[in-house]
Amino acid sequence: MSSSPILSTSPLAGQLDRLAGAVRVALREAVSAGEPTQAGQYQLGQAFSALRCAAIALTAGPSEHTLLNAQLALAETAGSLVAGGHLFALEAAGDIAAPEPELIDAVYASEPAIEEAEELAMLREIFARFSREAVAPVAERVHRGNLDVPEEIISGLAEMGAFGLSVPEEYGGSASGSATDLLAMLVATEELSRASLGIGGSLITRPEIIARALLAGGTALQKERWLPLLASGETMGAVAVTEPDFGSDVAEIACSAVKVDGGWRISGTKTWCTFAGRANLLAVLVRTEPDRSLRHRGLSLFLVEKPAFAGHSFAVESNGGAMEGRAIDTLGYRGMHSFEVRFDSWFTPDDSLVGEESGRGRGFYLQMAGFESGRLQTVARANGLMRAAKDAGLAYARDRIVFGKRLSDLPLTRYKLARMQSTVAATRLWAGFSAAEVAGGTGALEASMAKAHACRSAEWVAREAMQIHGGMGYAEEYPISRYFVDARVLSIFEGADETLTLKVIVPGVARLA
C-alpha cells in the first residue's frame, strides 16, 4: 500500500457503496417492471459492475491507481445514470471531486505490482518469458497473414504443462484442488495474452472448458481416458455450441444426435468453433431428446474425435457420415481460426456421450460448468491485452514529439494514460477476487460481472492507446492496431455483453439482499 497522503483523505468507499445500493434498488424495480425497461436494465447492470469493480479494487489493493479508478468510476457512473434519466444517482453519489493533478502524475507511467504467493510469482515469470520469447516474435506475422498457430507454440506450452493447469494431479495435470488453481490459470492466461490474444492466451481456454465439463459429469473411464491427453497437449480440443440461428440462446439449439446401434449420429451445423481445424477432439452440444419443449433439458454433450487439420478448411468421411469445416474470416483474433462445422450423420460411439446414459439431458449444465471458469479466464485475456495496449501507448507517447514537447508531457495524454493504468489495476484485482469466489462455489455472478466490465474496458483502453498513436495507430506498422481489433471480440464471445448483462447480471444483482 502506498504511503501517499492522497490515499488518507478519500470517502470514496462509502460513496461507491451508497451509489451501488441505490442502483441495486433501481434494478429490482426495473426487473419487476418487465421488458419495456430493458435498455434501462442494461445501463443499470453496467453501472453496478463498474462500481463493484472500483469498490473491490479499492479494498483489495489500495493505491493511487485504485483511488483514481474509484474517483473516475463514481463520477462517470453517476453522470451516465443521470443522463439516462436515473436522477437518484445525484443524491446517492454525493460530492464528486475531480482527480488532483498530483494523482494523475503519480499514476500515468506506472503499473502497481500485484501481491502474489511465491509460486504464482514464479509461474508468472515463466509464462511471461515464454510470451516474450516464443509468442511475441511471431504474433504480428500470424495476424497479418491469417496463418495457423505455429506448432512450436503448441508444443512449447505442452512442455510447460499449460494445458494441464485445470486438470487434477491424479490425471496428469497440476491442479491441486485449491483456490490457487484458478489463480494459476489467470496468471498464465494474462501473460500469454500480453503477446497475443489469438495465439497465446486463448490456446489454453478450450482444454480448461472441456476438462471442467468432464470433471463435472464425466464417467470414471472418460476422465481416465481424456484428462491425461488434454493435460499433455496430445489431444487438442475445440468447443462446438453456437449455431447459425442460435448464439447466446443455447437452449434452442437444433443440431441433433439420433441413437443408433452402438452410438449416435450427429447432424446439423455449428459455427464459431474456434480451433476446430487443428483440434482432434470436439466438445459438441446437441439435442438428443426430440421433444423441443424440454429446451435445455433435452441437450447432451459429446466428445467427438476427428483428425487434426492445418489451414482454413477440412473435410472427412467415416462410418457412413461426414464432417466438414470452413474457417470464417475475421477482423482479428487470428491464428486459431473460428470454423463453421457441418455434421452429416457423423457417427460417434456410446462412450463419447459425457456421463454416458446418465449424461443424457445434462449437456447444458456440463457445458455451463466449463463456461463459468471460461468467463473468468476471459477477464485474464482482457487484462493481458489491456496491459499490452497501455504499455504500447505509453512507449509511443514518450517517443513522440508534438509542438516541441513529448506527447507524454501533455496533460491530456497523461490523463488518458493514468485512466488506462488505473483501469487495468482495478480489473486485475477484481479478477483475483472473483477467482476466490468461483473456487468457493459462489462466484457465477461475480465472474459474469468481471467478464462484462473487463471486456468493455479492454475495448476502451485499446481505443485510447490507438488514439495516442495518431495516424500510426491506424497503420499496420505497430501492434496497437492488432490489439484494437482483437479487443473487439472480447465483449462478443464467452457470453455476449448484452445477453450476459440482461440474463445473468441484472437478475443476479436484483436478487442480492
C-alpha grid cell for residue 139?
504474433
> For the chain, what is the domain count?
4
**pLDDT, tens digit, 9 for 90 and up, residues 303-323:** 999 999 999 999 999 999 999
Residue 249's pLDDT is what?
76
Who has greater pLDDT, 336 or 37? Answer: 336
In a domain, 226, yes or no: no
Average pLDDT over residues 323-341: 96
Give yes or no: residues 315 and 403 share one domain: no
Average pLDDT over residues 172-196: 93
CATH code at position 380: 1.20.140.10
Q: Is 355 helix (H, G, I), strand (E, B) or coil?
A: coil
What is the widest separation between alpha-carbon atoms in the chain?
A: 78
Who has greater pLDDT, 36 or 309? Answer: 309
Average pLDDT over residues 467-471: 97
Angle, in degrees to the nearest 10, between helices 64-83 and 12-33: 40
C-alpha distance from residue 479 to each of 218, 351, 420, 485 (Å): 42, 45, 17, 10
Quote the DSSP letter at residue 37.
Answer: G
Among 91, 224, 494, 498, the one annotated catalytic? 494
Give yes or no: residues 418 and 462 share one domain: yes
Quote the DSSP letter at residue 175.
Answer: B
Q: Which of 156, 187, 217 is the last residue of a domain?
A: 217
Catalytic site includes residue 324? no
Give yes or no: residues 9 and 95 share one domain: yes
The overall pTM is greater than 0.85:
yes
Given a cut of 60, whether residue 35 has pLDDT beyond it is: no
Q: To the nearest whole percent, how much of the chain has pLDDT over 70?
A: 97
In a domain, 132, yes or no: yes
Give dist(CA 355, CA 421) in Å, integer.
46
Residue 115's pLDDT is what?
85
Give yes or no: residues 356 and 323 share one domain: yes
Give dist(CA 147, CA 186) in Å, integer.
26
Q: Can you give the residue range of the structural domain that contains 429?
A: 372-497
* Geometric angle at alpha carbon 46, from 45 and 52, rounded to 5°: 90
Which H or E run includes 466?
A: helix 444-469
Residue 179's pLDDT is what?
79
Give dist(CA 455, CA 379) in Å, integer.
7
**513 pLDDT tier (thresholds 50, 70, 90):** low
Q: Is 239 helix (H, G, I), strand (E, B) or coil?
A: strand
In a domain, 230, yes or no: no
Residue 10's pLDDT is what?
62
Q: To the nearest whole percent, how much of the chain has pLDDT over 90?
A: 79
Give yes or no: residues 322 and 393 share one domain: no
Pairing state between β 263-274 and 237-240: unpaired
In a domain, 171, yes or no: yes
Give yes or no: residues 208 and 281 share one domain: no
Given a cut of 50, whether residue 32 has pLDDT beyond it is: yes
Give dist(CA 387, CA 394) in Å, integer.
11
* CA 382 from centre of chain: 6
Given a cut of 60, whether residue 353 has pLDDT beyond it is: yes
CB neighbour class for 164 (10 Å; exposed up to 12, middle 13-18, buried from 19): buried
**pLDDT, tens digit, 9 for 90 and up, residues 196-252:** 999 998 899 889 899 999 999 999 999 999 999 999 999 999 999 999 988 777 878
CATH code at position 140: 1.10.540.10
Of the candidates 506, 205, 137, the residue with the CA atom closest to the CA atom of residue 382: 205
CATH code at position 354: 2.40.110.10
In a domain, 112, yes or no: no
* Geometric angle at alpha carbon 196, from 45 and 139, rounded to 5°: 150
Average pLDDT over residues 254-281: 96
Q: Which of 307, 340, 361 is the last residue of a domain?
A: 361
Give yes or no: residues 315 and 376 share one domain: no
Q: Is 324 helix (H, G, I), strand (E, B) or coil?
A: strand
Give yes or no: residues 213 and 251 share one domain: no
Given a cut of 80, whether residue 37 has pLDDT beyond it is: no
Number of C-beta neighbours around residue 380 at 10 A: 29
Pairing state between β 281-287 and 237-240: parallel
In a domain, 258, yes or no: yes
Given a cut of 50, whether residue 4 has pLDDT beyond it is: no
Give yes or no: residues 381 and 341 share one domain: no
Residue 296's pLDDT is what?
87
Of the candidates 201, 363, 389, the residue with the CA atom closest to the CA atom of residue 283: 363
In a domain, 10, yes or no: yes
Q: What is the mean pLDDT of the chain?
A: 92
Given a cut of 60, whether residue 488 has pLDDT beyond it is: yes
Contacts of 61 (CB under 8 A, 6+ apart): 1, 112, 114, 115, 425, 429
In a domain, 213, yes or no: yes
* CA 94 from centre of chain: 33
**9 pLDDT tier (thresholds 50, 70, 90):** very low
Give yes or no: residues 294 and 403 share one domain: no
Give dist(CA 281, CA 237) in Å, integer.
5
Give yes or no: residues 140 and 252 share one domain: no
Give yes or no: residues 381 and 342 share one domain: no
Q: Which of 361, 387, 406 is the last residue of a domain?
A: 361
Of the candidates 302, 319, 203, the residue with the CA atom closest to the CA atom of residue 261: 319
Cβ-contact 226, 214 below 8 angstroms: yes
